Structure 1
Amino acid sequence: MHSRSHIQEQKLSYQQSLANQLVTAVIILNKKLAIVYVNPAAEALLNKSIYRLYNTASDVIFANTSINSPRLQQLLTSGQEFTDSDIVIELNEHHRFTAEVTASSVEFNKTPHVLLELKQIDQQKQISLEVFQYQQWLAARDLIKGLAHEIKNPLGGLRGAAQLLSKELNNDQLEYTTMIIEQADRLTNLVDRLLGPNQLPQIQAQNIHVILEKVCQLVSYSNEQKINLLRDYDPSLPPVECDQEKLQQAVINIVNNAIQAIDKKNTITLRTRIASNKTIHGKRIKLAVQISIIDNGPGIPSKIQDTLFYPMVSGRSNGTGLGLSISQTLINQHHGKLSYHSRPGHTEFTILLPLTQQPLNQAPLPQGNIL
């Protein structure tokens, strides 16, 4: 028979090996709530080795979250474990992720410790949010189409009746029928704008940078605040199958929204990159062109973030709320995806356009200010 000490050694060996093999990030804190152990999964998640993390206070990692020192001290005292979802951990401006954190009490060398298990949920959360927003957007589009039908038919009748009536009136009474016709046309145009573009895109292979340079040129004409537009292009991008005018309009709407939301001290950056293994409306896409429109303004108000792409939703008192809704429609027509991430100091709209499997001849890159 094996001795008790031998079995204990084997147990500790397997425990250590198992912790190192786990895909779940594991962090152990001592009674002073300083880090004394992280497994390789935690090192990868936090982007630091155990040698750099050792003896780091937990408040450094979990700053501005619900995983604070008083709560962990209470855990050490009571032994009552807890789990929190949607914990946003921001180690620096370039390393930010969302995790589900489970905290429990464990004992090592007869001393209580805190065991933290972290599961990164950014991808699952993003996919769920995108599916929900896409379904809500489709529902809103169907509702608007139904309302448009019910509104435009009576408007057409009113306009026709006003035209007939104008033939029976004297010239000094025509102002009334003229007003009816003008307001009927105005409402018809509004409904058409709510519906967005109803023509299918004319797809051709296009150099994405030619389109973006045209956007910069057009925006410069109306950029009264003289906000600086920066380019950060990847010159190796292949041509993209798209409708040049529709994609151009989608980007212009986003850039104009950014210009109206920021000050002249801020900047807007147009960035292009290749993105791999992305999910677009539930489908896995191997390669896509990614267009990012980034500004360092105040960010999007939290109260409208969940409904930002709905028609008539705007963060400005004088805004129509149609620009982003139309951009969403245009990108969806390309089987692409329009998404965003916003916080104070950084708002980024991302357009993903799937690349075809067959390579296309690359068009020359336009000359411009490339970072």
Structure 2
Amino acid sequence: MLNSSTDHRPDKLYYQQNLPNHMVTAVIVLNSQLAIQYVNPAAEALLIKSFNKLKNQRLETALFNSPISEQRLKQLLTSGQEFSDSDVVLERLDKRTITVELTASSIELDMQPHILLEFKQIDQQKQISEEAFQHQQWESARDLIRGLAHEIKNPLGGLRGAAQLLTKELTVDQQEYTNMIIEQADRLTNLVDRLLGPNQLPKMVYNNIHVVLEKVAQLVSFNLPEHVTILKDYDPSLPEFSFDEDKIQQAILNIVNNAIQVLGGNGVIRIKTRAAINKTINGKRIKLCARISIIDNGPGIPDKIQDTLFYPMVSGRDNGTGLGLSISQTLINQHKGKLYCVSRPGHTEFSLLLPISEEITL
């Protein structure tokens, strides 16, 4: 038995005093005047302010938009009935938004009523759920398009063959019409082939991703508008890894060309590479990935097409075919990677995640 005088194990008070500083949940305490009396380190990170600067401030001054009305907080003080909200969007003072689960409860400190607010950030879980849903929808749309494309392509082959046979029975003047049929059948066949997307499996070879990015930059430089600038921000520590150079080059080239067209002759495109650790791709955890980001300062992608951006035939431009991003998605999917986009006016970022290491069992 240990002597009580030599037993230095932490007591209840020790845990009560120290655990809040190590919690990932942001904790804020308000007094009866709704002024901030305490924030833990997680709340300081969430609000981008230190406790000293937040002390005695009202909640609405610490956030660009307060998630709870003053009336609701006063009702909580009166009734003591706690409440919770999910999917609460907070706009911080740096104008960035985050999604949290919020719990508000009434507590008593120093014989005075206080409010305890708990914010748990759920952006990552929500993003994973949304990406899984969007990936499922993309696969369904792709399968539907492929089914329709095959149904269209088969009659087109018969139509073209019949026109060729008919041509032999006609005079040179009359062949103008059958030639038009053959020409339009070929055009539609080409469109259908593009709808079907790449069907050859990638030829995986160890290579340096920056070699591919340099080729893309060189290709687009030949027709780059005068006032569009391409900046490179590479991570030289990225190791070589296995991928199909031609397919990845095509995927990135489609995205960069889209960015050039969106900028309308004036703007900046940044190509950035970084290592990404412990990323979830289609439900599988990957220990190490290469993240390639193509960022432009254009007008952003319209909200109405952001959820269907990678579907075939969806485009934000009047003259767009809506095939470039769909093809890029297919090419990245063939590499067991992920392509996603975050967009707001002045900042559109397409990110490609390509696995470097093997997946981790969850």
TM-score above 0.5, yes or no:
yes
Q: In structure 2, what is the equivalent of residue 42 of structure 1? A: 43
Contact between 1:30 and 1:112, CA under 8 Å: does it hold in 2? yes
The amino acid of 1:312's aligned partner reads M
Shift of 1:297: 1.8
The CA distance in 2 between the partners of 1:70 and 1:183, in whole Å, is 67
Q: Are residues 173 and 210 of structure 1, via their aligned partners in 2, closer, same or farther at CA, if it must alter by over 3 Å?
A: same
The amino acid of 1:243's aligned partner reads D
Contact between 1:37 and 1:50, CA under 8 Å: does it hold in 2? yes
Q: Are residues 345 and 79 of structure 1, via their aligned partners in 2, closer, same or farther at CA, if it must alter by over 3 Å?
A: farther
Contact between 1:275 and 1:289, CA under 8 Å: does it hold in 2? yes
Q: In structure 1, what is the equivalent of residue 122 of structure 2? A: 121
Contact between 2:201 and 2:334, CA under 8 Å: does it hold in 1? yes
The CA distance in 2 between the partners of 1:68 and 1:265, in whole Å, is 43
What TM-score results when the alignment is normalised by the length of structure 2? 0.88
Shift of 1:174: 1.5
Local SS of the residue matching 2:227: coil
Q: Are residues 26 and 136 of structure 1, via their aligned partners in 2, closer, same or farther at CA, if it must alter by over 3 Å?
A: same
State the Cα deviation string for residues 28-64 of structure 1 (Å, max 9, x = none): 1223332111234323444544223222331134323
State the Cα deviation string for residues 141-192 of structure 1 (Å, max 9, x = none): 2111211111111111111111111111222221221121111111111111
Q: In structure 1, what is the equivalent of residue 171 of structure 2? A: 170
Local SS of the residue matching 1:310: coil
Q: What stretches of structure 1 of length at least 5 have no aligned partner?
A: 1-9, 358-371
Contact between 1:228 and 1:264, CA under 8 Å: does it hold in 2? no
The CA distance in 2 between the partners of 1:199 and 1:35, in whole Å, is 60
Q: In structure 2, what is the equivalent of residue 56 of structure 1? A: 57
Q: Are residues 62 and 230 of structure 1, via their aligned partners in 2, closer, same or farther at CA, if it must alter by over 3 Å?
A: same
Contact between 2:227 and 2:266, CA under 8 Å: does it hold in 1? no
The CA distance in 2 between the partners of 1:279 and 1:249, in whole Å, is 24
State the Cα deviation string for residues 111-137 of structure 1 (Å, max 9, x = none): 443321111101111110111111111
The amino acid of 2:43's aligned partner reads A
Which stretch of structure 1 is more off in the superposition, 249-258 or 42-51?
A: 42-51
Percent of residue pairs identical: 68
The amino acid of 2:131's aligned partner reads E
What TM-score results when the alignment is normalised by the length of structure 1? 0.86
The amino acid of 1:248's aligned partner reads Q
Contact between 1:206 and 1:239, CA under 8 Å: does it hold in 2? yes
Does residue 314 in structure 1 map to residue 292 in structure 2? Answer: no
Local SS of the residue matching 2:318: coil
Local SS of the residue matching 1:330: helix
Local SS of the residue matching 1:100: strand
The CA distance in 2 between the partners of 1:18 and 1:170, in whole Å, is 92
Contact between 2:28 and 2:36, CA under 8 Å: does it hold in 1? yes
The CA distance in 1 between the partners of 2:226 and 2:83, in whole Å, is 51
The CA distance in 1 between the partners of 2:221 and 2:18, in whole Å, is 60
Q: In structure 1, what is the equivalent of residue 219 of structure 2? A: 218
Q: What stretches of structure 2 of length at least 5 have no aligned partner?
A: 1-10
Q: In structure 2, what is the equivalent of residue 146 of structure 1? A: 147
RMSD of aligned residue pairs (Cα, Å): 2.4
Which stretch of structure 1 is more off in the superposition, 118-127 or 172-181?
A: 172-181
Q: Are residues 22 and 235 of structure 1, via their aligned partners in 2, closer, same or farther at CA, if it must alter by over 3 Å?
A: closer
After TM superposition, the structure 1 = structure 2 runs for residues 294-309 of structure 1, keeping only pairs within 5 Å, are 294-309=295-310
State the Cα deviation string for residues 7-44 of structure 1 (Å, max 9, x = none): xxx99887656645644221112233321112343234
Which stretch of structure 1 is more off in the superposition, 13-22 or 144-153?
A: 13-22
Q: Are residues 266 and 67 of structure 1, via their aligned partners in 2, closer, same or farther at CA, if it must alter by over 3 Å?
A: farther
Local SS of the residue matching 1:114: strand
The amino acid of 2:253's aligned partner reads I
Q: Are residues 342 and 65 of structure 1, via their aligned partners in 2, closer, same or farther at CA, if it must alter by over 3 Å?
A: farther
The CA distance in 2 between the partners of 1:354 and 1:229, in whole Å, is 26
The CA distance in 1 between the partners of 2:314 and 2:72, in whole Å, is 39
